[in-house]
Amino acid sequence: MMRTKELFQDIQRIFYPVLAAVGIPVNIMVIVILNQRKCGLSRCVTRYMVAMAAADLLVIVFDLTLRHIPILYPNQFRFVLLLPVCNIHSVFLYAATDFSVWFTVTFTFDRFVAICSQKLKTTYCTERTAAVVLVTLTAFLCLKDTTWYFIHMKTYSMANIPTFCGVERSVSVSHVWGTIEVLHYALNPCVPFVLILLLNVLTVRNIVVVSRARERLRSHVAAESLKDPEMESRRKSIILLFFISGNFIVLWALFTITLISDRIWWLDYKINNPSVPAREIGFMLQLLSCCTNTVIYAVTQTKFRELLKNMIKYPFSRIVEIIQFKEIRKAF
């Protein structure tokens, strides 16, 4: 067991810093690119995608950079133990994680409405509605996560378990606080899991029904006009939706299982404590999900891919221009 734990720590000592070094600039680039509104996406979709990128950036900062990396490098971050702010840190960390998850749910629901309900689409799938939904959800989640301030102590435990702050024994075994904590975990990520799966199932069902109806209609149309722009537009929305929601489900599945098992075990119920490999892999996959949306956008959105390439090339092209300018000046 100790060898396995040490092996995963060695992997994480490389994986987490690299993930932070890549994830922070990548999510900033996504926010900048999407805010330019040149990707051919609707304003509504752009609003949700910017919110998801911002939430992922916050998770990388508060969870990966300020929690997991200090735990892996205790000698370099020993001063953290002297900072009595862990309960405040936990509020920001869990709020950021909630934002990342629930913004994905709101995006999934928005695309579900856009694909499955043409009547509701005109009133719900708007930039204003997206802004109202995101602001309301943010306020609710911030209020919900203030309870972590009272559950956790001010001191850091510096342990890589769900409770990374110090916790009083009376709190850790209390069924009252345990119930509150379980409710937190139900709202993130259990309920989002169910909602995303349900919405995707309903979306697939609608797609199958509509596709069959349109195929029957098109069978009476001349062969030269078989191209269906409506289905082509839907296809692009469906690909983006399934990639993002599927990415969430796959990368959060193990983390969700180990999280619930850990809490039930701490409440002294008869259940096996999740193994170290399962817990550590769950953490790694959950944090990886904060960087994968950029890959999804690049794969599924041609204009986004072009803008991303231009942004990456820009500093190098500027360096080349400066060098060429200096060479020209020397020549004269």
Model confidence over 112-167: pLDDT tens digits?
Answer: 998 888 889 989 999 999 999 999 999 999 999 999 998 888 988 887 766 788 88
- Among 258, 313, 264, which residue's Cα sits nearest to residue 281? 258
Asked if residue 169 has pLDDT above 80, the reply is no
| pLDDT at 4 (0 to 100) | 73
Q: How far apart are CA 284 and CA 13, in angstroms?
A: 11
pLDDT band of residue 28 (cuts 50, 70, 90) is: very high
Cβ proximity of 149 and 62 under 8 Å: no
Fold classification of 2-218+229-318 (topology level)? Rhopdopsin 7-helix transmembrane proteins (1.20.1070)
Q: How far apart are CA 51 and CA 54, in angstroms?
A: 5
Domain ranges of the chain: 2-218+229-318
Asked if residue 288 has pLDDT above 50, the reply is yes
Q: How far apart are CA 132 and CA 116, in angstroms?
A: 22
Q: Which two tokens stand for residue 85?
A: 């702010």
Cβ proximity of 88 and 149 under 8 Å: yes
pLDDT band of residue 87 (cuts 50, 70, 90) is: very high
Which residue matches tokens 């990368």? Answer: 251
The Cβ of residue 274 has, within 10 Å, a number of other Cβ atoms equal to 20
Asked if residue 224 has pLDDT above 50, the reply is no
Q: Which two tokens stand for residue 140?
A: 């609710």
- Among 93, 47, 121, 37, which residue's Cα sits nearest to residue 303? 37
Tens digit of each residue's pLDDT (9 = 90 or more) over 172-184:
777 788 788 778 8
Q: How far apart are CA 8 and CA 316, in angstroms?
A: 36
For CA atoms 294, 300, 303, 309, give the dihedral sign. Answer: positive
CA dihedral 101, 86, 57, 106 (to 10 degrees): 20
Whole-prediction pTM: 0.87
Strand partners, 156: 165
| pLDDT at 68 (0 to 100) | 92
- Among 142, 239, 288, 261, which residue's Cα sits nearest to residue 190? 261
Q: How far apart are CA 116 and CA 200, in angstroms?
A: 11
Q: How far apart are CA 129 and CA 132, in angstroms?
A: 5
